[in-house]
Amino acid sequence: MLAELQKQWGKTLSWEECGSLCERMTEFRTKLKLEKGLRGPMMHCRQCNAVHEMRLPPITIRSLLFALRKQGVVCDTELAQLDAAWKRYRAQHRLDGCGKRRDVPGTAPPASADHVHSPR
Ligand SMILES: [Zn+2]
């Protein structure tokens, strides 16, 4: 998965592209989990008032940047620059941690078994 991230990430990617990369990585992680037959712990969910498997929150652009640092793809200085640039861009365009617009209807996670319960 990390190799995949290294392959797909580049310094020339726009934040929008980073957002879709996060989305692909989140999907990839879900697929890997399914293939290995790994299940998250069960939990009582207050959002849908049912007991179901705990879902991992989606991969954010910030966690993507930190993963790249851990792998040595970027150095500390680059990480600090990217992080600051992302924070600025995110505030300017009112995006969530995954690079999605928060004020557009229809972007809320669907209330299915696949919904995520991460704080935004
Ligand atoms: Zn739920």
pTM of the predicted model over 0.85: no
Q: What residues flank ion ligand 1 with Cβ within 5 A?
A: 45, 47-48
Low-confidence ranges of the chain (pLDDT < 50): 110-113, 119-120
Q: Give pLDDT, residue 106.
A: 55
Q: Give pLDDT, residue 116.
A: 59
Q: Token pair for residue 33? A: 């989990």
Q: Delimit the domains of the chain by residue range.
A: 15-93
Compute the distance between CA of residue 113 and CA of residue 51 in angstroms, rounded to an integer. 10
Q: Give pLDDT, residue 112.
A: 45
Q: Give pLDDT, residue 4.
A: 86
Compute the distance between CA of residue 118 and CA of residue 22 in angstroms, rounded to an integer. 15
* Cα(116) to centroid(ligand 1), Å: 7
* Cα(109) to centroid(ligand 1), Å: 11
